[in-house]
Structure 1
Amino acid sequence: MTWGSIVKKGRILIVDDAMENIQILHQALQDEHDVLFAMNGTKALHMAQHQLPDLILLDAMMPDMDGYAVCAALRASELTRDIPIIFVTALKTPEDETRALSSGAADFISKPVNAAVVRARVRTQLTVKFQSDALRELTLTDSLTGVANRRAFDERLDAEWRRCARSQMPIALILVDIDHFKNFNDAYGHQAGDACLKKASEAMGRAAMRPQDLLARYGGEEFAILLPYEDLGGAEVVAGKVIDEVARLAIPHERSSVGPILTVSMGVVSVMPSDRFESAMMIRSADALLYEAKAEGRNRFKSKGQ
């Protein structure tokens, strides 16, 4: 797959209070991109939060909320701060361009626009964005298992915690530990141990398949499954599936006190985020429940709602 083929899939949000300007830009871009539009700043911010475009073409002069205010609001939001913005405006002076770039825009195009120039500038910004996204994905991925790493988990937990708090929805966490993994490595070697971690992570991924769910390698043989908008009952269902999926692998483990095949133990907790209950407390609660599951014989989960 080439960068050019990826760029053709870009989602563009056009923000302008004049329909004729939107139509001109739409005609220039519709053959190569998925094009959305908004005719005021408030609508643009709502669409950016919910549609997450790859690029925004933003008019500077609009009533109620001008382009600079929209740009500032986009940059202030964790969800939208990395979306590149091209100002497309009737303003033409060097001072206008400097102000736009200083406010966080990636590029500046003066009206009336040239369709070929718009397409070229859009391709350039999308290429940069997708390359940056790919590099960032590498820094957030565990190199052995291919699932999210601890850094990705920490970032996602922070974002989902605040989102669930705003919407007053529960969030659940499952901490998973592979039973007697050190004994497994001692018996079969580290190469077999690495293969075991890969297969086990794939099994866990089959148990948590909603788009919003996150499976991360938390450290060593420990994994974390983050379940936004999930209550305790739903989280327990996922934990049960993890046990079943890992058992289905039937990976031999002759040095386990649990049985002849690989098993896992889990701590499961679901909470309603609030000022009185921080995300770190949820992690500690899940860890304590994981310890209880191990103490009671492993190959099980212990759960609790907060």
Structure 2
Amino acid sequence: MNTHKLQKANILIVDNQIDSLKLLSKILEEQDYQVRQAIDGEMALIAVNTEIPDLIILGINLDKVDGYQVCEKIKKQEKMSDIPIIFLSNFDDYGQKIKALQMGAIDYIIKPYQQKEFLARVNNQINLSLKTQQLKETNHNLEQKLKLIEVSQQFNQKIPLESYLLYEAIAATNNSIVITDATASDYPIIYVNPGFETMTGYSLEEVTGKNCRFLQESDRQQPQLEEIRHCLQQGQPCHVTLRNYRKDGSLFWNEMSLSPIKDESGKIIYYLAVQTDVTDKKRANKEQQRYEASLQKMNRELHELNRKLYRLANMDGLTEVANRRCFDETLEQEWRRLSREKKPLSLILGDIDYFKRYNDNYGHLGGDDCLKKVAATIAKAALRPADLVARYGGEEFAVILPDTPYEGAKQVAQRILESLRRLRIPHQVSDVQPYVTMSLGVGTINPSLETKATCFVDQVDEALFEAKKQGRDRFKGVDKQTS
């Protein structure tokens, strides 16, 4: 468990409700916690096995493996049984609460939750967890010191304490210790410690006199074996990771450090091999890769979902230009920004001439097709990425032109009119031309926080009305720039 400072505590949040997951992560990350996420029970178990967290915030109703099963699997593992778990629930259900506590949870939070209360509960459990860990470490150190004193008193001066400690260390280590005779052919084994017997299932009597290659059985096509042979020939130490097999035939990954031991004359008389079972580490690395791949997939899906939601919220479904909501928000943002930067803002409002007649004559499907073509034409005329083309109303369109003077806005308006004329969408019931035309209002202003953007929109709308009044298929402008 993580024993760093409070702000470095590692917290795993497991919840299949994405909004809740993102909110809790944001709250905890703002408090400098290290936060990991999982959206289902299976991903949660992978994350816990990859790196043991200091605290788990666990939803109950999860996909694949529910929260109770996740809690039960964690609590059954000795190395994870002390992880504090706080359950999250959508309902204040007495039965759920009792079941969660019986499963080993230390707290139970009901949604919706207050941020201060939530942080207080998390901070309290992290503090308790770290203090418990410190107390265990202190007790372990005291026990070791007491054992050393008892051993020293028992043996007194019969054997040197250093020799006894060395023997005890070799016997007690979980690592495998193997000593081979370097003076004999084929480097036969002359000693293995109890750790070797536990790791492989072979006793000292079974392996004495054998070469260590028997641990690879028929799995001899490993480049690391050639590396070992080379180091033996050169009398050099080496460090490799091998695939070995236990007495029962099961595979385990063995990380081995091989060191030569020399006599007083410098001759190598033994080789000492310290072996570590890194199977769990290998598995954890694979599971971490799987977890990271799953997390990357989830992030890609979330990104795509957010992109689609943004499009749905800000795009007009028929014409595929911005909708009125997006227009209002963008105009307000640009108004404030250009007010600060003292730069001009231009706006074009356009209306398709006699569009009601067009709909009546060509039908609503024909009208929809006309709106799509007009929107695409306007979008091509607005050349810069910062310009926004929006469907303002039924047959009305708007173009926001940030940091654009009046002359530039007039050029855009002229391009729109000329492009529509070249397009020549038939409009036999128009009083202007036998094809679709537009009337435009053009305006430019230096925004000020003392005035509202809607007032400027009204002024441009008046210019549009004047264009219609003067015969349509034209633009009229209003320049409100101040020096």
- TM-score over 0.5 for the alignment? yes
Q: What is the percentage of aligned positions where both structures have the same residue? A: 40
Matched, 1:100 2:274: no
Match of 1:267 in 2: 441
Q: Deviations over 1:76-102 (max 9, x none)?
A: xxxxxxxxxxxxx844478x9963267
Match of 2:428 in 1: 254
2:356 maps to a residue whose letter is K
Q: Does the C-alpha gap of structure 1 residues 105 and 278 become closer, same or farther in structure 2, counting only changes over 3 Å? A: farther
Q: Deviations over 1:222-252 (max 9, x none)?
A: 0001111111110000000000111111112
Identify which of 349, 372, 388 aligns with 1:175.
349
Q: How far did 1:254 drift?
A: 1.6
> Which ranges in structure 2 are unaligned for 5 or more consecutive residues?
1-6, 13-24, 38-287
Matches within 5 A, 1:1-306: 90-92=8-10, 99-100=28-29, 107=36, 121=295, 123-306=297-480
Alpha carbons 1:172, 1:232 under 8 Å: kept = yes
What is the number of equivalent residue pairs in this alignment?
213
1:187 maps to a residue whose letter is N
Alpha carbons 1:254, 1:260 under 8 Å: kept = yes
Q: Deviations over 1:253-273 (max 9, x none)?
A: 121111211110010011111
1:201 maps to a residue whose letter is A
Structure 1 Cα separation of the partners of residues 26 and 426 of structure 2: 65
Alpha carbons 2:11, 2:36 under 8 Å: kept = no
Structure 2 Cα separation of the partners of residues 131 and 166 of structure 1: 34
Alpha carbons 1:175, 1:266 under 8 Å: kept = yes
Alpha carbons 1:101, 1:107 under 8 Å: kept = no
Q: How far did 1:118 drift?
A: 6.1
Q: How far did 1:121 drift?
A: 4.2
Q: Which has the higher contact order (CA 8 A, sep 6+)?
A: 1
Aligned CA RMSD, in angstroms, stands at 2.8
1:164 maps to a residue whose letter is L
3-state secondary structure, aligned to 1:268: strand
Q: Deviations over 1:109-147 (max 9, x none)?
A: xxxxx8886675455334313311212211211111111
Q: Does the C-alpha gap of structure 1 residues 189 and 116 become closer, same or farther in structure 2, counting only changes over 3 Å? A: closer
Q: Deviations over 1:52-86 (max 9, x none)?
A: xxxxxxxxxxxxxxxxxxxxxxxxxxxxxxxxxxx
Alpha carbons 1:174, 1:267 under 8 Å: kept = yes
